[in-house]
Structure 1
Amino acid sequence: MKKYIFSILLPLLFVFSKGYSQDKLIDRVVATVGSNIILQSDVDMQYAQALAQGATGDAEKHKCYLLQQLLTQKLLAQQAAIDSIEVSEAEVDDDLNRRMRYMTQQFGSKERLEKFLNRSVLQYKEEMRPNIAEQLKAQRMQQTIVQKINVTPQEVKRYFESLDKDSLPYFNTEVEIGEIVINPVLTKEEKEQFRTKAEGYRQQVLAGSDFGTVARLYSEDGSAPYGGDLGFATRESYVKEFSAMAFKLKKGEVSPVFETQYGFHFLQVLERRGEEVNVRHVLIKTKPTPTALARTKEKIDSVYNLVKTGKMTFSTAAALYSDNNETKFSGGMVMNQQSESRSTLIPVDALDKALFTSIDPLKPGEYSTPQQFTDPRTGDVGFRFNFLKTRIPPHAANLDQDFAKVQEAAQMDKVNRKLSEWFEMRRLNTYIHINDDFGTCDDLKIWTKNSELATK
């Protein structure tokens, strides 16, 4: 199928602010879009980050591509301003925090990242804030342009018939699978050891230990490299128990230990800003004891027998007993996370090893026996058994078996054409100038065709 023409914005490409290294940059304007400018440092900084993430190949071609992304962002952001499209400070904070968590993981520690940036993480985040706000506005503008686009079945058929039949994609084996997951539930007595552990760390803080150091050393949350700092967030950003505690304390106060679905926490309020609060916390996750695992195995065996003997349908059992909220309300069926249309057909090579091993011996209509597993995303331990509904052998794309995928490709094609029309209209009515140094970039030539006459 045709791929997206417009990878308009780069949500995971981090823009380095000026002075990201010891080297001094002599800055200059390399492009003008309406009343906005793009600096050489903007392009170089994006390229530096791309290199840090392992990019290879021709440097000049890559910089041409990055400048095209920046031109696109400027056009969208300008229209967003005209249409009064805004993003909140909380949204910018969330995006910044996500990016910084990713970058910290890439560099291995906050200290290594700060050494590379030649500044503190807090300073860097403030320097990044205007650019991130512009990116988010541009993304929202793009979503507004295409949000009402749909394709009819007839349009899907016409799209498929327009494809070159000699180059249709070949799909690997695909399956439709269901799952029933039951997670261990600990008794109050079994949880006490984890509460006690969290309380011990809290007492260290109350006795004078630095909260951030305790969080970095002992917290089992992804915020640990940041000293437990979660940045500014609204009430809705957290589960209710965490939110209730975060918004009732005063600045500097340390909470008692409290429980959420993630385990036992204690937190400290760093700052309050209207309906947003900045806190840091320590999390100690609860882990299933052998006794809890045995109880869970007994429960899932019982549910499995109800389904296997026909006393209860798989979908009913999933709705009643499964602890996976992503599947229990869809009859237990697992969705293809890589599909825009949320199809239930999943390529077997996209399954994790444990799940593939579970369903590989099954015939359609059969169930695997209950097994203990570890969720690859969360690390949580539970028990599950699977249902194989459908297995589709490898085949060339066709409408009968692959309508959902063809529909998704047709939708993308229609979105691309809409975006092409939008950009062409804005380009022709916007003054755009690109420095001659980028004159060898073929993909950039269309940007300045007739556009420099726009304001003359």
Structure 2
Amino acid sequence: MKLINNKIALIFGLVICACSSMYAQPSQKKKIDGVVAVVGDYVVLDSDIDKTFLELQAQGVETKGITRCEMLGTLLEDKLYAHQAIQDSIVVTDAEVNEFMNSQLDQMVEQVGSIDKVIQFYNKKNLEDFKAYFFDVVKMNKLTSQMRRQIVEEVEITPEEVRQFFVKIPKEELPVFGAEMEVAQIVVKPVISQTEKQKVIDKLKQLKKEVQEGSSFFSRAVLYSEDPGSKSSGGYYKLTKKTQFVKEFKDVAFSLQEGEISEPFETEFGYHIIFLEKIRGQELDVRHILISPKVTDEALKEAKTKIETIRKRIVEGQISFAEAAKQYSDEKETRNNGGVLMNPRTMSTRFELTKMDPSLYSEVSELKDNAVSLPLMDQEQNGNKKYKLITVTNRFEEHTADFATDYLKIKELALKEKQIKAVGKWTEEKIKETYVKIIGEYRECKFTSNWLKKSL
């Protein structure tokens, strides 16, 4: 059972330890002397500290060096974030909570094999009891994370601040950055026939008709949608005009009336129908079904022939890799940049070898400079296959930080430092404004923040 417990804890993260003090079991609520702190409307129990240690240990985190005082300080911060989120009218909708909770539950069940094992691990009577308990837990966790994000999202840093941050670092303490490389690719996608497209359009029209005749859009999305991000929640998304969705999707969603289902329409992901479930001011509750036309074997062969021809021209020097990417690549995100990939973690073109995605590393690790890989078959989220060529365009050996060469990395470090200071300042200000009480032996703790409100 230990392995199962660890897997569940890893999936749910610290959602319990971040929020469990307010939602303790009935037996814990009766233990009045178990209350060790109060922040605003929230309490922290001594048992919450124990739970936090257990959760961290279940995730494989070494806790020997963490004191109970330090753990209490973390819990106090969580309660302060949640309390202030409510004061600032930060809203977490029931739909958001249910979507996240259902998604996490699906992952837990997939990991351990059954919903009964999940319920048993959390010592709940049944699924309803489990969901009722974790609804409040998840809601509070989301309030906490949104409050944290709001504190730091407006923190910006100027080039001069980055420079000052760098020059203050003693020479012997300058960070060392690992070996990196820049990678480019050319993608050729098989051409999907009009016949295959029409099959999908007809299927979506049929599903729309079934819903209009009384079937559940939720169940149809669960059964037929190919969108991994919303399939398990019946195709649900919360949408505003600022939501980072493709333009075609938002245009259709905001053209619908409440209760209306769209006609099938196309985006880069495939074909969709959208059901506008609810209008909440500037916010929409929508459900959608995504189905992608399938690639035929004949189209796949034609794509392979095309990319082999492109590779031959590059190798023979008839065209450069960058020029070929601009002319022939079907990946619009990279083709205008000569096929150069963007690191999604750092938003730069460099990939540190020790942190590179294993699948990408396996494709480039043996490539010499300017060599072009053989055609590699890849698969998109919708299951359709495509071919790609990869080359290494630049390499950077392990080195001590240099301001000009590593500006983006240094900027990231400087920004993090400034954000930490902003959070610290915010915390101290809000502690002064908020009712905080530390009880019993924990008043002897030496907290980083002034939770005891001592005169400074």
Classify the TM-score, shorter chain.
0.7 to 0.9
CA distance in 1, matches of 2:91, 2:451: 36
> For 1:104, what is the secondary structure of its paired residue?
helix
Could you tell me how far 1:373 is from its partner in structure 2? Answer: 1.5
CA distance in 2, matches of 1:292, 1:62: 62
Give the aligned partner of residue 183 of structure 2. Answer: 177
Give the aligned partner of residue 68 of structure 1. Answer: 73
Trace 1:157-168 onto structure 2 (pairs within 5 A).
Answer: 157-159=167-169, 161-163=171-173
Could you tell me how far 1:178 is from its partner in structure 2? Answer: 1.2
Could you tell me how far 1:225 is from its partner in structure 2? Answer: 1.9
Structure 2 runs not aligned, ≥5 long: 1-11
Q: Judging changes above 3 Å, is the alpha-carbon distance between structure 1 residues 104 and 313 closer, same or farther for their aligned structure 2 residues?
A: same
Trace 1:199-210 onto structure 2 (pairs within 5 A).
Answer: 199-210=205-216
CA distance in 2, matches of 1:77, 1:19: 11
| Match among 25, 29, 32 for residue 26 of structure 1 | 29
CA distance in 2, matches of 1:208, 1:428: 56
Q: Would you say 1:295 and 2:302 are equivalent positions?
A: yes
Give the aligned partner of residue 7 of structure 1. Answer: none
CA distance in 2, matches of 1:226, 1:97: 6
> For 2:390, what is the secondary structure of its paired residue?
strand
- Contact kept, 8 Å, 1:149 with 1:415, in 2: the verdict is no
CA distance in 2, matches of 1:371, 1:189: 27
Trace 1:267-346 onto structure 2 (pairs within 5 A).
Answer: 267-339=274-346, 342-346=347-351
CA RMSD between the two structures = 4.5
| Match among 390, 393, 396 for residue 394 of structure 2 | 390
Give the aligned partner of residue 453 of structure 2. Answer: 451
| Match among 138, 143, 158 for residue 133 of structure 1 | 143
CA distance in 1, matches of 2:82, 2:250: 33
Could you tell me how far 1:140 is from its partner in structure 2? Answer: 0.9
- Contact kept, 8 Å, 2:97 with 2:135, in 1: the verdict is no
CA deviations on 1:29-65 (whole Å, 9 max, x unpaired) are 54344x4543439947984994797466659958766
Paired residue type of 1:132? K
| Identity %, equivalent residues | 26
CA distance in 2, matches of 1:331, 1:285: 28
Give the aligned partner of residue 216 of structure 1. Answer: 222
Give the aligned partner of residue 365 of structure 1. Answer: 370
CA distance in 2, matches of 1:22, 1:449: 26
- Contact kept, 8 Å, 2:176 with 2:401, in 1: the verdict is no
CA distance in 2, matches of 1:104, 1:437: 42
Trace 1:88-127 onto structure 2 (pairs within 5 A).
Answer: 97-98=99-100, 100-108=102-110, 118-119=128-129, 125=135
TM-score for both structures, normalised by structure 2: 0.73
CA distance in 2, matches of 1:63, 1:192: 63
> For 2:227, what is the secondary structure of its paired residue?
coil
Q: Would you say 1:148 and 2:151 are equivalent positions?
A: no
Q: Would you say 1:242 and 2:249 are equivalent positions?
A: yes
CA deviations on 1:274-294 (whole Å, 9 max, x unpaired) are 232222233222232222223
Paired residue type of 2:197? K
Q: Judging changes above 3 Å, is the alpha-carbon distance between structure 1 residues 37 and 213 closer, same or farther for their aligned structure 2 residues?
A: closer
Q: Judging changes above 3 Å, is the alpha-carbon distance between structure 1 residues 249 and 384 closer, same or farther for their aligned structure 2 residues?
A: same
Deviates more, 1:179-188 or 1:124-133: 124-133
Could you tell me how far 1:159 is from its partner in structure 2? Answer: 1.5
Q: Judging changes above 3 Å, is the alpha-carbon distance between structure 1 residues 23 and 60 closer, same or farther for their aligned structure 2 residues?
A: farther
TM-score for both structures, normalised by structure 1: 0.73
CA distance in 2, matches of 1:263, 1:48: 46
Paired residue type of 2:402? L
CA distance in 1, matches of 2:382, 2:49: 36
- Contact kept, 8 Å, 1:430 with 1:451, in 2: the verdict is no
Deviates more, 1:125-134 or 1:325-334: 125-134
> For 2:15, what is the secondary structure of its paired residue?
coil
| Match among 160, 180, 194 for residue 200 of structure 2 | 194
- Contact kept, 8 Å, 2:276 with 2:285, in 1: the verdict is yes
Paired residue type of 1:220? E
Paired residue type of 2:149? Q
Could you tell me how far 1:203 is from its partner in structure 2? Answer: 4.6
Give the aligned partner of residue 8 of structure 1. Answer: none
Deviates more, 1:118-127 or 1:206-215: 118-127
Could you tell me how far 1:179 is from its partner in structure 2? Answer: 1.3
- Contact kept, 8 Å, 1:21 with 1:118, in 2: the verdict is no
CA distance in 2, matches of 1:70, 1:286: 49
> For 1:399, what is the secondary structure of its paired residue?
coil
Aligned length: 428
Deviates more, 1:22-31 or 1:274-283: 22-31
Deviates more, 1:233-242 or 1:110-119: 110-119
Structure 1 runs not aligned, ≥5 long: 1-10
> For 2:195, what is the secondary structure of its paired residue?
helix
Give the aligned partner of residue 353 of structure 2. Answer: 348
CA distance in 2, matches of 1:49, 1:259: 48
Paired residue type of 1:381? K
CA distance in 1, matches of 2:300, 2:355: 28
CA distance in 1, matches of 2:106, 2:360: 31
- Contact kept, 8 Å, 1:176 with 1:334, in 2: the verdict is yes
| Match among 394, 398, 402 for residue 399 of structure 1 | 402
Q: Judging changes above 3 Å, is the alpha-carbon distance between structure 1 residues 258 and 333 closer, same or farther for their aligned structure 2 residues?
A: closer
Paired residue type of 1:177? V
Q: Judging changes above 3 Å, is the alpha-carbon distance between structure 1 residues 52 and 438 closer, same or farther for their aligned structure 2 residues?
A: same
Could you tell me how far 1:26 is from its partner in structure 2? Answer: 0.6
Paired residue type of 1:446? T
> For 1:300, what is the secondary structure of its paired residue?
helix
CA deviations on 1:163-198 (whole Å, 9 max, x unpaired) are 18xxx7573x43221112232331322322333444
> For 2:391, what is the secondary structure of its paired residue?
strand
